[in-house]
Chains A and B, each alone.
Chain A
């Protein structure tokens, strides 16, 4: 479903070319829960930008849900992000002036779909925040804000939920809460790609990909989940 074929990304930094991703090939199936790990400078962020269609590869091919992304223009990329990808950011990235419900509704607004309110309410219910739909982000805790962000990622029923350090700003209790929520979503059949540098967060995934210097150095499938309740 997600297929990277010798994808490279080269940035020009002054006189030198920086190869952030170096001929990376990778394939992720529907329903997988993948953690992408690596130290800073390993190409993690570039990977996230390319997987999330925020950026296009310099070289190679990226297929998402049957669409070749490399050749798309800005508006087409926006449509792909809207329909096929649900973003979860480290800084939550909710719109501060909108209520929780309005934030969740936003992707549907750009998708021009009907019954937005009902769908947004259902997504909020899925992250157990139905009671807080009229709260503004600054009236919610960090964990709650991240759950609103997850609801926003879910609401368009995307092909992939792409979480970039989703627990980076959270305390231990909230981290556990978010990790459990992602696990639950994955069990319900959603594809989750998690980018993190925390081993304990990565541990909830069923496949861990390690990056270094723009290349995949390890790709391990964990059959039995550590600490899984069964």
Chain B
């Protein structure tokens, strides 16, 4: 019997019980489609996460004041301008592209009887490059303005929207009240989908007029730019060394600051989204397994129903293998059809959900179809046909012809 003839026999067998075959196919179809859709949802989520983290910059190292540890003298030393200076003068191996201090807080912005509370970031002129930000309009403040703690501010998207109706040009040059002082809007940041509710100003102005008692030299965060993603670990070690010397700490357990990188964040997210995808895939795989059990069940019923046919085939000379092959092909065709329809449905749903755009999916990012998962899901459906068909087919092949012929 050629494979083509065997397939024909299998299809004829399946057509004899259309509804039953269709329901069994449905079981596999749902499993395969679920694997494809859930894997592409998982992929979409991790792609979105990676994109977000990479837009923040993967070569950034952040230094924060430690909340837990205190140094030997019992006082946690804050990060200060001296630390920034020390890092800026730290020299090569590896070179630090930039060292940017940030002083954070919040304040209410007021203009034309409108008000809006937003985050305040006081920083140096390296702020733009360190945070991968761009200007949408106007200019950034200058080093000269930092020295004279000029009351100038660069707004981001949200405050411009709330105070000036989203019109960047009408915001420029405007005098707005921040706290008890009047600032001039000199620029507007391009939005990056992350930190869009923000006002940036010279660190000196922030200290003198808004955050802290004024005149002190504390900073909340120091952002260090490594030369590349690869030099991040070396850069972190170096920052550690410099600041330990600076704070006169010898025991690393006693550090009163923390050094973290986006790379760590990226790795952590990648690991977590990997677990998430695995979790989704496992759920889908279980439904595929259930579909396989459905195939086994139906094939057992089929073999029992067709005991007499098996007897006839054996009586006129079918070998054990021929019967085995017949039923294995039948179960594999059943599973393969389910797999095929499942691929069409799974790919269709993934593409359709992607085409609908993010709004239709709520907070879910658009699914990213993985050709590998499509291939694997289809191959697994065939394997399920073989695996779950093996027991029923073996049962059929082992029937004794005399008894099978006598079966009513």
Contact = CB atoms under 8 A, between A and B. Distances in A.
- A and B part of one assembly: yes
Interface residues of A, number: 25
A81 B405 contact: no
Interface in B307-360: 308-309, 311-322
A97 B401 CA distance: 20
Contact of A93 (B1, B315, B317, B319): B315
Contacts of B309: 95
Interface in B190-223: none
Interface in B354-408: 401-402, 405
Contact of B317 (A55, A89, A95, A110): A110
Interface in B242-256: none
Contacts of A87: 315-316
Contacts of A78: 314, 317-320
B3 interface: no
Interface in A182-198: none
B12 interface: yes
Given A78-B319, A82-B317, A109 B401 contact: no
B19 interface: no
A54 interface: yes
B316 A82 contact: yes
A81 B313 CA distance: 11
B393 to A, nearest CB: 16
B308 A93 contact: yes
A57 interface: no
Contact of A106 (B13, B313, B319, B401): B313
A109 B12 contact: no
A54 B401 contact: yes
A109 B5 contact: yes
A79 B317 contact: yes
B214 to A, nearest CB: 94
Contact of A54 (B5, B12, B315, B319): B315
Contacts of A75: 319-321
Interface residues of B, number: 22
A169 interface: no
Main secondary structure of the interface of B (DSSP, over half): helix
Nearest to B401: A54
A97 B16 contact: yes
Given A52-B315, A78-B319, A111-B317, 20 more contacts: A49-B402, A54-B315, A54-B401, A74-B320, A78-B320, A79-B319, A81-B314, A81-B316, A81-B317, A82-B317, A87-B315, A87-B316, A89-B405, A93-B312, A93-B315, A97-B16, A106-B313, A109-B1, A110-B318, A152-B316
Contacts of B402: 49, 54-55
Of the listed residues B5, B16, B314, the one surrounded by the most CB atoms of chain A closer than 10 A to its CB is: B314
A93 B322 contact: no
A220 B311 CA distance: 34
A63 interface: no
A185 to B, nearest CB: 17
8 contacts: A49-B402, A54-B405, A79-B317, A82-B317, A83-B317, A87-B315, A110-B316, A110-B317
Contacts of A79: 317, 319
Nearest to B398: A74
A43 interface: no
B367 to A, nearest CB: 43
A93 B405 contact: yes
Contacts of A107: 316-317
A55 B400 CA distance: 9
A110 B322 CA distance: 8
Nearest to B316: A107
A106 B320 CA distance: 15
B310 to A, nearest CB: 11
Contacts of A49: 402
B326 to A, nearest CB: 11
A110 B315 contact: no
Contacts of A110: 1, 313, 316-319, 322
7 A-B pairs with least C-beta separation: A82-B317, A110-B317, A107-B316, A93-B312, A78-B319, A75-B319, A81-B317
A79 B318 CA distance: 8
A101 to B, nearest CB: 14
Contacts of A109: 1, 5
Contacts of A106: 313, 316
A93 B12 CA distance: 18
Nearest to B309: A95
A100 to B, nearest CB: 15
